[in-house]
Amino acid sequence: MDKNLVICRILDANLDRAREGLRVIEEWCRLGLENSGWAEKCKQMRQEIAHWHTSELRLARDTPNDPGTHLSHSQEENRESIEQLLQANLCRVQEALRVLEEYGKLYDSNMGNAFKKIRYQVYTLESELLQSYRYQKLKNATLYLVTSSTEKLLETVEYALQGGLPLVQYRSKNIDDIIRLEIAQKLCELCHKYDALFIVNDRVDMALEVNADGVHLGQQDIPIALARRILGPNKIIGRSTTNPQEMTKAIAEGADYLGVGPVYATPTKPDKKAAGLDYVKYAAKTSPIPWFAIGGIDEDNVTEVMAFGATQVALVRAIMEADNPKKTTQKLLRKLQGTL
């Protein structure tokens, strides 16, 4: 086959692929996020790509004889969440743009550089979009489950997710890393199946490996700036705080959210004195970022915590040790949403 014709067919196919992927992303920016700025960026990139989609390239198309039209993969047949849909289409666009950049150099001396610029624009959009999407879900999450060790860990978490749980942190201190990593991977997949955020406690390396939505750091863990360099700009980083000074420092260091507590004495943190409800009241008046009251909170006292200004709470035993984690989660969510 003529080499120039092959190049034209490659360019035509990837011009279509890039435009289609951008349109999928644009629709969510416009109607899902109602963000006119991001929608306009997508539209401008689509129009610039369309400028290069000449009649010569379109005429090279031979869809009936293209073996690629019959190729598929199981991961392309299902989308489990909006985030997964966006990520898949962002990757699709980036791959197409790289092909256009390389083969475009053989077709037009200006084409390679033009698509290199667009590709970097998509990288920036990806970072902004995924960071915003996760952060919005974080802000809307009224209930946060922190796991404890149990033989029914996965089963308990799934029941809670079925009850509407929006946010899970995997915390496990006393097992081998290879087992912890395996469980983290399964929990991450489970959370994303139910469109919930998944956070790993302490271990930035494991959060990165399993593609968690972020990491939660204690006061003695690595600096937030280092965690950010490792995880990248679009992941969530939380920090535990027990007093106003620690809160101020965590916010200044760039934490995305705070743990505020322990509100009550809890066997989960036997070495920590309760920070009390006054600290909850302080956080409600002071914190400019999302924060979760944590420590000894359950169905019986969550209303009291809310009375001091908490709108988001994190808990462990109330769900992990519940006879019916699904119903417990549903009841807690109704209380936090003011419908019970």
DSSP three-state, residue 260 = strand
Q: Is the pLDDT of residue 157 over 90?
A: yes
**Beta strands per DSSP E along the chain:** 143-146, 167-170, 197-201, 214-217, 236-241, 257-260, 291-294, 313-315
From 91, 106, 136, the end of a domain falls on 136
Q: Which CATH number goes with the domain that contains 266?
A: 3.20.20.70
Q: Which CATH number goes with the domain that contains 7?
A: 1.20.1260
Same domain, 210 and 235: yes
Place of tokens 């039209």: 69
The catalytic residue among 92, 269, 287, 326 is 269
The catalytic residue among 171, 228, 235, 239 is 171
**How far apart, in whole angstroms, are the C-alpha atoms of residue 115 and residue 319?**
50
Contact 13, 68 (CB under 8 A): yes
Same domain, 224 and 264: yes
- Would you state the structure tokens that stand for residue 11, as one six-digit string? 């360019």
From 119, 136, 153, the end of a domain falls on 136
Same domain, 84 and 65: yes
Share of the chain above pLDDT 90, in %: 82
**How far apart, in whole angstroms, are the C-alpha atoms of residue 271 and residue 320?**
21
From 76, 103, 136, the end of a domain falls on 136
Q: Tell me what pLDDT residue 2 has.
A: 86
Q: Which domain holds residue 118?
A: 3-136
Same domain, 153 and 290: yes
Please say whether the dihedral angle defined by the alpha carbons of residues 71, 75, 76 and 77, taken in this order, is positive or negative: positive
Please say whether the dihedral angle defined by the alpha carbons of residues 325, 330, 333 and 338, taken in this order, is positive or negative: negative
171 is catalytic: yes
Q: Tell me what pLDDT residue 265 has.
A: 86
269 is catalytic: yes
Task: For residue range 176-234, list pLDDT tens digits in order.
Answer: 999 999 999 999 999 999 999 999 999 999 999 999 999 999 999 999 999 999 999 88
Q: Tell me what pLDDT residue 73 has.
A: 53
Q: Tell me what pLDDT residue 127 has.
A: 87
**How far apart, in whole angstroms, are the C-alpha atoms of residue 288 and residue 305?**
19
Contact 18, 96 (CB under 8 A): yes
Task: For residue range 248-298, list pLDDT tens digits in order.
Answer: 999 999 999 999 999 998 877 777 788 999 999 999 999 999 999 999 999
Task: For residue range 77-110, list pLDDT tens digits in order.
Answer: 566 778 889 999 999 999 999 999 999 999 999 9
- The predicted model scores a pTM of 0.81
Q: Is the pLDDT of residue 125 over 70?
A: yes
Q: Tell me what pLDDT residue 154 has.
A: 97
Same domain, 156 and 73: no
Same domain, 115 and 225: no
Selection from 288, 24, 314 nearest residue 165 by Cα: 314
Contact 161, 190 (CB under 8 A): yes
Same domain, 56 and 146: no
**How far apart, in whole angstroms, are the C-alpha atoms of residue 334 and residue 116?**
49
Contact 292, 259 (CB under 8 A): yes
Same domain, 325 and 176: yes
Contact 29, 38 (CB under 8 A): yes
**How far apart, in whole angstroms, are the C-alpha atoms of residue 241 and residue 279?**
10
Q: Tell me what pLDDT residue 164 has.
A: 98
Same domain, 330 and 280: yes
Same domain, 110 and 217: no
Q: Tell me what pLDDT residue 70 has.
A: 52
DSSP three-state, residue 170 = strand
Please give the span between the terminal C-alpha atoms of the chain, in angstroms, as a whole number. Answer: 70
Domain count, the chain: 2
Find how far residue 8's CA is from the centre of its chain: 38
The catalytic residue among 134, 240, 287, 326 is 240
Selection from 111, 100, 96, 128 nearest residue 23 by Cα: 96
Same domain, 125 and 184: no
116 is catalytic: no
Q: Tell me what pLDDT residue 69 has.
A: 57
Phi, psi of 223 (to 5 degrees): -60, 150
Same domain, 21 and 111: yes
Degrees to nearest 5, angle at CA 94 with 89 and 96: 95
Task: For residue range 49-82, list pLDDT tens digits in order.
Answer: 999 999 999 999 877 766 665 555 555 556 677 8
Q: Which helix (H) or strand (E) holds 4?
A: helix 3-27
